[in-house]
């Protein structure tokens, strides 16, 4: 007997061989800190959570990429002329990628907590656990989170003073983890 001939619940027959229909129920609220949620009240974020949105400008993005490229070139200890050529080449490539990928048009929503970094935009979601973060560097315009496959710039203009203090805690944790 072919599986096409099996009766299903939709046809009023027994569920033998067909898909099961599930009853829908109200979602059960989940608490992470053990306190009971109140109906209609959003729980307060923990002190080690950051939530902010970023829309990058070309000049800001190039500032991050130029300073990071200069840092990497200094680590290689190449000559001055070669270093300037590499810096101009990498900065122009970053500008081209910024325009080609439309990064200035996207609004990125960041959530940073004890588990890692979540970046949401119109093109997808990036999940970065702290084990994938190799370093967090401070530059003139903000923080640059270095991950296994790239970087995540976080401008100072998007963080309040309390959020900057929390970000400094994450910087210290990553630095301590790198020493181990």
Q: pLDDT tens digits for 79-98?
A: 888 888 888 888 888 888 88
pLDDT tops 90 at residue 69:
no
pLDDT tops 80 at residue 173:
yes
Instruction: Tell me the DSSP string of the chain.
Output: --GGG---GGGTS--TTSPPP----PPPP--SSSPPPPTT-PPPPPTT-EEEEE---HHHHHHHHHHHHHHHHHHHT--HHHHHHHHHHHHHHHHHHHHHHTTTTPPEEEEEETTEEEEEETTEEEEEEGGGEEEEEE-SSEEEEEETTEEEEEEGGG--HHHHHHHHHHHHHHHHHHH-
Domain 51-179 falls in which CATH fold?
PH-domain like (2.30.29)
Instruction: Write down the pLDDT at residue 39.
Output: 57
How high is the mean pLDDT of the chain? Answer: 78
Instruction: Write down the pLDDT at residue 30.
Output: 43
pLDDT bracket for residue 177 (50, 70, 90): confident
| Tokens found for residue 103 | 């990064």
Q: Which residue has the tokens 């130029």?
A: 66
pTM listed for this prediction: 0.67
43 vs 139, more confident: 139
Q: pLDDT tens digits for 9-49?
A: 555 555 555 444 444 444 444 444 445 555 555 555 566 78
pLDDT tops 80 at residue 55:
yes
Q: pLDDT tens digits for 92-117?
A: 888 888 888 877 788 899 999 988 99
| Tokens found for residue 123 | 């093109």
Cβ within 8 Å of residue 140, ≥6 positions away: 63, 67
């Amino acid at each position: 007997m072919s599986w096409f001939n099996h009766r299903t619940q939709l046809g009023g027959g027994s569920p033998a061989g067909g898909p099961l229909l599930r009853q829908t129920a109200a979602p059960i609220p989940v608490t992470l800190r053990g306190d009971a949620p109140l109906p209609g009240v959003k729980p307060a974020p923990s002190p080690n959570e950051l939530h902010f949105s970023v829309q990058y400008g070309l000049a800001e993005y190039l500032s991050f990429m130029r300073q990071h490229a200069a840092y990497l070139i200094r680590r290689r200890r190449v000559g001055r002329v070669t270093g300037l050529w590499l810096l101009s080449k990498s900065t122009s490539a970053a500008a081209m990628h910024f325009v080609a990928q439309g990064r200035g048009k996207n609004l990125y929503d960041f959530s940073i907590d004890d588990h890692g970094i979540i970046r949401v935009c119109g093109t997808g979601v990036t999940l970065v656990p702290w084990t994938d973060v190799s370093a967090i560097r401070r530059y003139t315009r903000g923080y640059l989170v270095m991950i296994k496959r790239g970087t995540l710039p976080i401008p100072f203009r998007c963080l309040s003073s309390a959020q900057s203090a929390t970000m400094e805690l994450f910087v210290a944790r990553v630095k301590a983890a790198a020493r181990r």
